[in-house]
């Protein structure tokens, strides 16, 4: 997915919203763990009935990755987000990343900030744990977005029921 920092950022948030948002962190890359005394941030509640609230599912293929990348991004009404990203080849799951944190949506964008990666508190102040996406379209069933960087490609996420799980 590009250089290591971009890859990590995409995965860690993962934007990936929308999943879409990145490929899982390589097993040999280190988490940037939270320093002693750092506590989990408090999320800011978005406006009621915000159109991004819900669960969004993206499946995509990426050059150099065997199989498909699946992302389930859940944006809660309390400002919390949960993202599960996995690489699946046939029936085999090659890798999986589970992240939690906060989200907000300033003026046509989605900002996802990861505070826990696979259960570990990370140094969420590090920019690698913040991903920003430009929202191109958002309706009751589909979300089209792209990373907020030059030449990024749009991704399309489908809204799924809250009970939806990656299998």
Domains and CATH numbers, the chain: 4-34+41-160 (2.40.128.300)
pLDDT of residue 22: 41
Yes or no: say if 130 and 11 are a contact pair by the CB < 8 Å rule: no
Yes or no: say if 57 and 19 are a contact pair by the CB < 8 Å rule: yes
Local structure of 79: helix, strand or coil = coil
The overall pTM is greater than 0.85: no
Residues with pLDDT less than 70, the chain:
1-31
Whole-number pLDDT of residue 32: 75
């Amino acid at each position: 997915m590009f250089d290591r920092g971009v890859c990590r950022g995409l995965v860690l948030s993962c934007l990936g919203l929308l999943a879409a948002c990145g490929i899982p962190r390589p097993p040999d890359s280190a988490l940037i763990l939270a320093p002693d005394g750092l506590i989990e941030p408090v999320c800011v509640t978005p406006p009621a009935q915000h159109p991004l609230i819900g669960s969004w599912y993206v499946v995509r293929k990426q050059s150099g990755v065997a199989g498909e990348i699946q992302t389930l991004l859940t944006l809660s009404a309390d400002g919390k987000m949960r993202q599960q990203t996995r690489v699946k080849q046939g029936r085999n799951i090659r890798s999986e990343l589970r992240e939690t944190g906060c989200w907000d949506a300033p003026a046509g964008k989605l900002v996802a900030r990861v505070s826990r990666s696979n259960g570990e508190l990370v140094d969420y102040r590090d920019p690698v744990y913040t991903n920003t996406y430009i929202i191109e379209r958002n309706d009751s069933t589909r979300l089209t977005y792209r990373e907020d960087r030059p030449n990024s490609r749009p991704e399309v996420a489908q809204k799924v029921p809250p009970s939806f799980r990656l299998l």
